A and B are shown apart, each in its own frame.
Chain A
Amino acid sequence: MSYHLELKNVKKNFGSTNIIRGVNLKIKKGEIHSLIGPNGAGKSTLYNLISGVYNISSGNIIFNNKNIENLPSYEIYRLGLSRSFQITNIFPKLSVFENIRCGLLWNLDYKYSITAILDSDKKINDKTNEILNKISLAGFSKEAAGLLSYADQRALEIGITIAGGAETILLDEPTAGMSKSETERATRLIRNISEDRTILIVEHDMGVVFDLSDTISVLVYGEIICSDKPINVKNNKRVKEAYLGNFGN
């Protein structure tokens, strides 16, 4: 079967340092796929390669049967692959409402229009409110995004990420730095949005990972050492070594 997103022997080196040393990864349509691994394994770099922030050194990235390696980020986004970031990445001076609406613009085919007046366009505003309700931020729609609490900002970021209707979403540590209740809220939100989407998550909170995932891949030193169902990963010897090896010493 053909996969939704497939990485074939992707390599990346900065100068003489090999960060990603030949990653093969296959993600099926509609699944929640987690990517875990110890610090410095190259998870964020891998995300940046998939989403076009960095160019890859060699290999192929195939998304919906298209080669997307080395395309600019916005082209990849337009193909339907959206992402969030490890450090909160929103438009801090714009209002919450505007943040979400910016996420909708391209998908609603506004492109670079200099003639459409957005405030008088019911369709986009309704849609924005719909998403705001989904991420339960409707009460703050007029506030500047930069003034929201951390958890709300993360939620907003997920909101922007999904707003454009991308069917595949990369989430980078969506619960990092959150309290327990906030984590629960975030988990709910992710499950909520995953209904008709393919999701790839990088996450440190193993509770969240095992709770959500359909498949888990483990990245260690720039290589995928295991990619399987959660229960199999739990019992995988090399994974245990990689993790315990880290903590054991």
Chain B
Amino acid sequence: MYSLKKNYKLILYFFLIFTLLFLPFLFTSSFALTLFCKMGVLIIFSVAYNMLLGQTGLLSFGHAIYFGLAGYASIHFLSGINNNYFPSLPIFILPFIGAFIGLALGFVIGYLSTKRVGTAFAMISLGFCELVTALTLIFVVFFNGEDGIQADRVTGNNYFGLTYGPQNEVYYLILFWCIFSVLIMYLLTRTPFGRMCNAVRDNQQRAEFVGYDVRKIRWMAFSLSAMFAGAAGSLHAINYEHIGFESVSLAQSGMVLFMAYIGGVGNFLGPILGAISLTYLDTMLSDMTEAWVLYFGIIFVIVIAYAPQGLAGLILMHDPIIRNKPSLLKKLAIPYVFFGISILLLVVGFTSLIELIHSLKSNHSVLKVYWIEISNQNFLIWIMFILLTILGILACKRSYTQTKTVWDEVIEDIKLGFIK
């Protein structure tokens, strides 16, 4: 039985990797590939970040430092190859260099900042972030200010016939690194160090009384997390052939925090989920609406208030039901559908309202929401969407209580099963 299950897992793995390998044949446009590459890079970054936030319980506002500075180092190496300083350096090992830079920086900054935990730690990281961002603009010789640095990745010796000119070669490079580093980070969570990270997160004092220097655990977690962030930064630099000061900034740190948190910090797969969905949203929403940062903020706040375990948490919540009594899921289906409809109502009403308000600031009176063109001069439209929003709120409230009642019943049912 157990081995069957294990094989099943393996098949799934292979299927997944197979799909990922064939993705460039499905989506040939360079934009889609760039997007996949970005996702790959951010998956590494956010899983690395979650090593700190989710696994060790350290909130950092400065993780972009390792991402960005490793990116700068890599781009310098890349232009070193461009300028024939070390023409035989293969590009696919640049992430190793980035990882090393990240590790070194994490080692030093981690030594200073892991003396503290909680809010104090968060603020030290914020201080470092602001410091480094300011320095990137001041030390022009290394950072080249806000212009950042450009390099050409089609350069040096072509190992294995890879030139990295076409985007899909970069895709495979990133895919390889993504699988490789996520796998290592996953395995790390299974080691004594990984377990003790969780232990330190849950209860420092107890961790000391099973013989561990908690500071050392935090320091190690910090350095290793910075190391993987560095590898991600390096890949970022290869993907865009450019690195700029915004990649070390607070905004970048905030982005990875959003990804990890919305995806779910409590689960190893959460940040992956977060990185994929937020990268996608980021690209698509910013194309559709100017108010996308507002929607981002609202989603984030709602996740914190109502789903602190993130998207992964919402899905994994059903784990006990599926494990014990999958038939109960049917009971949940109807409330879920209603809840979904209510949310849809609210989203449509609210976003249209926001777009209407937004349009008042521009000189156009006609705007497009959800494929319909409406005019912000029409009073009825306003009333309609206000009503829709209110309706949505009421429906959400009501179906939330309903769903919760059914949910509680289901959980109660399962608990009864436990006792028997």
Which B residues lie within 8 Å of A112 (CB)? 192-193, 196, 212, 216-217, 220
Given contacts A105-B196, A111-B192, contact A93 B202 (CB under 8 A): yes
| Chain B residue at minimal CB-CB distance from A92 | B202
Give CA–CA (A111, B217) in the complex, Å. 10
Give CA–CA (A93, B201) in the complex, Å. 9
Give CA–CA (A114, B195) in the complex, Å. 10
Which A residues lie within 8 Å of B306 (CB)? none
Given contacts A93-B198, A93-B202, A112-B216, contact A83 B209 (CB under 8 A): yes
Q: Which of B183-191, B232-240, B329-337, B382-390 sits within the interface?
A: B183-191
Which chain B residues in 162-197 approach chain A with CB under 8 Å?
187-188, 190-196
User: Are A113 and B210 in touch, CB under 8 angstroms?
Assistant: no
Q: Which of A35-43, A72-80, A228-236 sits within the interface?
A: A72-80
User: Are B220 and A98 in touch, CB under 8 angstroms?
Assistant: no
Which B residues lie within 8 Å of A85 (CB)? 205-206
Which B residues lie within 8 Å of A74 (CB)? 208-209, 211-214
| Chain B residue at minimal CB-CB distance from A117 | B190
Which A residues lie within 8 Å of B211 (CB)? 74, 77-78, 105-107, 164
**A146 → B minimal CB distance (Å):** 9
B94 contacts A by Cβ under 8 Å:
no
What 1/0 flags go to A100-138 for Cβ under 8 Å of B?
011101110011111111110000000000000000000
**B1 → A minimal CB distance (Å):** 17
Count contacts on B: residues with CB < 8 A to the other chain: 29
Which B residues lie within 8 Å of A103 (CB)? 210
| Interface range on chain A (Cβ under 8 Å from partner) | 35 or more
Given contacts A91-B202, A93-B198, A102-B199, contact A110 B209 (CB under 8 A): no
User: Are A114 and B208 in touch, CB under 8 angstroms?
Assistant: no
**B326 → A minimal CB distance (Å):** 18
Given contacts A92-B202, A93-B202, A94-B198, contact A116 B192 (CB under 8 A): yes
Give CA–CA (A82, B206) in the complex, Å. 10
Besides A74-B211, A77-B211, A114-B193, 9 new A-B residue pairs in contact (Cβ under 8 A), listed by A number: A74-B208, A94-B202, A103-B210, A105-B195, A105-B211, A113-B192, A113-B193, A114-B224, A117-B190
Query: Could you pull out 28 A-B pairs where Cβ atoms are within 8 angstroms?
Result: A51-B209, A53-B205, A73-B209, A74-B211, A77-B208, A77-B210, A77-B211, A91-B207, A93-B198, A93-B201, A94-B195, A94-B198, A94-B199, A94-B202, A98-B198, A102-B207, A105-B195, A106-B211, A112-B192, A112-B212, A112-B220, A113-B193, A114-B194, A115-B191, A116-B191, A117-B191, A160-B206, A163-B210
Q: Which 4 A-B pairs have the closest CB atoms?
A: A106-B211, A91-B202, A110-B192, A73-B208
